[in-house]
Chains A and B, each alone.
Chain A
Amino acid sequence: MFRSIVAKNIPCGIRVATYPISLTNNGFKFVRFNSTQNKAKAEQIKSSLDQLKSTDPLASSAAESKASTPSFEIDALLNRTIESDTTDIFQNSYGSRFDNNIEQTPRDIAKTFREFSMSAGRSVDVRYGNVGRGLQQLSGIMSNNKIFYLARRQKRHIRPALLRKLKKREWWRRKFAGDFHTLMQKINNAKRRGY
């Protein structure tokens, strides 16, 4: 299981990126063209095809006869198949790197695993020996996630009906405190303004 994760999955994700690169490889662009309306554009296309003639062997057949109509040339262009690359461009870079390292030691594989233990979300890295900051961060995590509150509540069994009642009570007390706070703010503001 561990081996398959390392060996197979990683290169597959990267190979997706090869697609657009091969399309733009020849320096060629598709142009929307209407031959009956615009003859100036037809001249442009012709000239560009003449340029391509020297570099691109497949386009040469389309641009061969100057007497041919522009629409014919476009058809030829559309029919033109894109030359498939015989060599994968990732063969030299990404692929080989992964292929060489398929067999990792179990020690290296164990390194790559993420934390998944109970206290995974409750651990803090201490930077530059700054323990005080680490402790502060940890206490922040503990209070945000109500861990002490939950641990205290779990110590004794509360029957479900009572628990529901308790939750409602807590919600109401929290709401009341908040509302009272805002009310007092309003009153103090008014007082300050001299009402």
Chain B
Amino acid sequence: MFSRITRFALNGSRIQAPLTIQPISNTIINPIRAISTTSTLNAPPRRANKKGVKPSNWLKADEKVVGWKIYATFTSNNTRANVVAVVEDTKFLEKNQHLSHNEQVIYYLQLPHRIVYSLSTGQLGFRGVQRSEYEAGFQLSSKLFKTIQEKNLFGPTDKVEIVVNGMGKGREAFSAALLGKEGQALQKNIVRISDATVLKFGGSRSKKQRRI
């Protein structure tokens, strides 16, 4: 799982970066965040005080964001989504000289993930069976994309990977919202879509079949 992150985060030349022209005012780059110039970190302090997206919660000193991921899970009962920042310590090698060479390589293969924002259909007021429906999934996705835009999480050149998991009804709703006007602003940032539906290879014995 983590190698995909690194590939996505570090080997940027292979992935087509979205073409955006940066205005001159954005050329002064925040030392903490080199990739995204217009983001929460450079925003005025009143916005930084918002709960949950405040970078001090998930971004430590010397760390910078190298990429973003949106994890969306669609189960038969619910739809959930997380916005995750892939973070790299810029001074990792200097700080961890006692580590072996292989351990240092493994850090860069498995860069830390920080959950920035998470949402599930229950938080939108859907209760019980309603959570499993298409409408709940659609509303969740539109709320998610709206929040990302409002909080200005992704800069113009940030790279975002979407990881979908499971086969609930919300899956279709999510892709519909992403292709529709809800996710239009987000589309230029997306560089990769992958599926993480869990398949067993051997493993433990499943539950017995239901009798209805």
Contacts and interface: CB of A to CB of B under 8 A. Distances in A.
A118 B2 CA distance: 10
B10 A111 contact: yes
Interface string B140-177: 00000000000000000000000110010000000100
B4 A120 contact: yes
Interface residues of A, number: 42
Contacts of A141: 195
B192 A157 contact: no
Interface string B166-200: 01000000010011000100011111111111111
Interface string B73-95: 00000000000000000000100
Nearest to A155: B206
B193 A127 contact: no
A101 interface: no
A3 B188 CA distance: 37
A148 B3 contact: no
A179 to B, nearest CB: 31
A88 B108 CA distance: 37
B199 A154 contact: yes
Interface stretch (B51-59, B97-105, B126-134): B97-105
Nearest to A123: B194
A50 B188 CA distance: 72
B208 interface: yes
Interface residues of B, number: 47
Given A111-B6, A126-B190, 4 more contacts: A110-B105, A117-B2, A134-B192, A147-B199
A117 B3 contact: yes
B1 A3 contact: no
B207 A123 contact: no
A107 interface: yes
Main secondary structure of the interface of B (DSSP, over half): mixed
Contact of B108 (A110, A126, A132, A148): A110
A134 B161 CA distance: 12
Contacts of B191: 125-126
A19 interface: no
A113 interface: yes
Nearest to B195: A122
Interface stretch (B11-19, B22-30, B32-40, B42-50): B11-19
Interface in A142-166: 142, 147-148, 150-152, 154-158
B193 A124 contact: yes
A151 B108 contact: no
A114 B104 CA distance: 17
A157 B10 CA distance: 42
Contact of B193 (A107, A110, A134): A134
Nearest to B206: A157
Interface string A112-140: 01111111101111111101101100100
Contacts of B105: 2, 106, 109-110
25 contacts: A1-B102, A106-B104, A109-B108, A111-B6, A113-B6, A113-B7, A115-B3, A117-B4, A118-B198, A119-B4, A119-B194, A122-B197, A123-B193, A126-B192, A128-B16, A129-B18, A129-B190, A134-B193, A135-B175, A135-B178, A138-B195, A147-B197, A148-B167, A151-B197, A155-B207
